Amino acid sequence: MDFIPVNEPLLNGNEKKYLCECIDTGWISSEGPFVKQFEEKMSFTVGRKYGVAVANGTAALEVAMQAIGVGKGDEVIMPAFTIISCAMAVTKLGAKPVLVDSNIDTWNMNIHEIEAKITDRTKAILVVHLYGLPVEMDGVLEIARRYHLKVVEDAAEMHGQTYRGKPCGSFGDISTFSFYPNKHVTTGEGGMVVTDDEELAERCQMLKNLCFRKDVRYVHDEISDNYRFTNLQAAVGLAQLERLGEFIERKRAMGKFYTQSFADLKGIQLPVAHTEYAENIYWVYGIVLNRDIEITNRDIIKLFTEEGVGTRTFFWCMHEQPVYKKLGFFVNEKYENAEYLARKGFYIPSGMALTKEQMKRVVDKTRSVLEKIK
Ligand SMILES: Cc1ncc(COP(=O)(O)O)c(C=O)c1O
């Protein structure tokens, strides 16, 4: 039996057609016409005025942080449980990530811990929507308003998700997306910053392209990066965006199927299907082992591999990252729920190209693995 990969994208729409257009016209660089079209279509889809395509979701976070003016000595409040891109975007600028714990049910940041973490150095709140459900934005926006803080929204995993009917990616000062192949819209590698603020958008365009001076080429006043996004990537992205609605339906059907199939299983926590503000889009289908199960997610993914099923552990917490320990960040800090999710959470195959037959096999294999560890 073939190995079931944890993720496989679906590229059977107009991707090939648009890519051939790039080849036929010779437009393969970031100057090609699809880049602008993709920026416009993506920002329109998420209800923003401006989009700036960049090399990946990590670059999008870096550009966003730099654009809103995060710098040396500033603090940015973010979840302890997230991808390291979030913390790196802050520490690279000489600023400090200030962490909050997670909610054990939604796996998102506990917004009720934010206010106590605000100091006179706090510059921004970085909201990260994780695994399929959005963070409670009303609470975050209210705190940000009261303390005059910027809000950066990491919507990397949230293509097609809404919070109280409003698209994720439309909240706060600036939002970011990733188009890595496990995202609902992929361009291979890729990312985007979206905002309603024209000045911020212009600043992002500068920052992603070495801060070329507008009046004279090859003259630069600031340090920045080359995070440009190619016409080839945009060609794939445009074709993917055309199918976003269908992709979300597929993901929701997958989530429903897995949840129904696992309903009788003991010892595991399944994703919350919906909250009062959103229905889960199951960016990936996560499972968390109960406390009474002794083994960790690292052990369980080995068992799944033996069964021919690709799985991944959840993220590893920021305060437990060796690099940040070495640099003296987060000394003696503890975030109980975040640590628990990082040790006990994992996800099973959830890619867009997953077939019903594969899903059924994943369910059978999940049952056999859980039987073994009882
Ligand atoms: C929440 C979140 N933010 C940022 C990123 C980084 O995106 P990229 O891999 O495109 O750099 C990811 C990637 O999976 C992510 O899940």
User: What is the average pLDDT across 292-313?
Assistant: 96
Cβ of 74 less than 6 Å from ligand 1: no
Cβ burial, residue 302 (10 Å; 0-12/13-18/19+): exposed
Adjacent-strand bridge partners of 4: 309
**Looking at ligand 1, which residue's alpha carbon is closest to its atom 10?**
57
Q: What is the pLDDT of residues 44-103, one digit of tens each?
A: 999 999 999 999 999 999 999 999 999 999 999 999 999 999 999 999 999 999 999 999
Calculate mean pLDDT across residues 209-223.
93
Please give the share of the chain, as a percent, with pLDDT higher than 90: 98
Taking the centre of ligand 1 as the mean of its atom positions, its distance from the CA of residue 84, in whole angstroms, is 9
Task: Answer yes or no: are the C-beta atoms of 357 and 16 closer than 8 Å.
Answer: no
Among 198, 147, 205, 194, residue whose Cα is nearest residue 172? 194
Cα-Cα-Cα-Cα dihedral sign, residues 20, 354, 82, 279: positive
Q: How far apart are CA 105 and CA 275, in angstroms?
A: 10
What's the CA-to-centroid distance between 317 and ligand 1, angstroms?
Answer: 15
CB of 78 closer than 6 angstroms to any ligand 1 atom = no
Among 89, 153, 96, CA closest to 119:
96
Q: With 80 as the cut, is the pLDDT of residue 1 above it? A: no
Ligand 1 nearest-atom number relative to CA 182: 14
pLDDT exceeds 90 at position 374? no
Length of the chain in residues, anyone?
374
**If DSSP codes are grouped into helix, strand and coil, which group holds residue 341?**
helix
* CB burial of residue 13 (10 Å; 0-12, 13-18, 19+): middle
Q: Ligand 1 test: best mutation among 58, 130, 133, most atoms within 8 Å of CB?
A: 58
Give pLDDT tens digits for 168-186.
Answer: 999 999 999 999 999 999 9
Q: What DSSP string describes 225-271?
A: -B----HHHHHHHHHHHTTHHHHHHHHHHHHHHHHHHHTT-SSEEPP
What is the arithmetic mean of pLDDT over 3-21? Answer: 98
Q: What angle do CA 326, 150, 174 make, to 5 degrees?
A: 95
Please tell me if the CB atom of residue 178 comes closer than 6 angstroms to any atom of ligand 1.
Answer: yes
Whole-number Å distance, alpha carbon 58 to ligand 1 midpoint, is: 6
Average of per-residue pLDDT across 260-270:
95
pLDDT tier, 295 (very low <50, low <70, confident <90, very high otherwise): very high
Q: Is the pLDDT of residue 194 over 90?
A: yes
State residue 4's pLDDT score: 98
Tell me what the pLDDT averaged over the chain comes to.
97
Distance 256 CA to ligand 1 centre (A): 25
Out of 157, 183, 341, mutate this one to test ligand 1's pocket (max ligand atoms within 8 Å of CB): namely: 157
Nearest residue (by CA) to ligand 1, atom 7, is 57
User: Cα of 292 to ligand 1 centre, how many Å?
Assistant: 31
Residue 373 pLDDT = 86
- pTM reported for the whole predicted model: 0.98
The Cα–Cα gap between 211 and 327 comes to 29
pLDDT band at 271 (very low <50, low <70, confident <90, very high): very high
Check if 108 has its Cβ closer than 6 Å to any atom of ligand 1. no
State in Å: Cα 4 to ligand 1 middle: 23
| Atom of ligand 1 lying closest to residue 128 CA | 1
Residue 314's pLDDT band (cuts 50, 70, 90): very high
Atom of ligand 1 nearest to the CA of 61: 4
186 lines ligand 1 (CB under 6 A): no
312-313 and 122-128: which strand pairing?
unpaired
- What pLDDT, in 10s, does the model give residues 130-145? 999 999 999 999 999 9
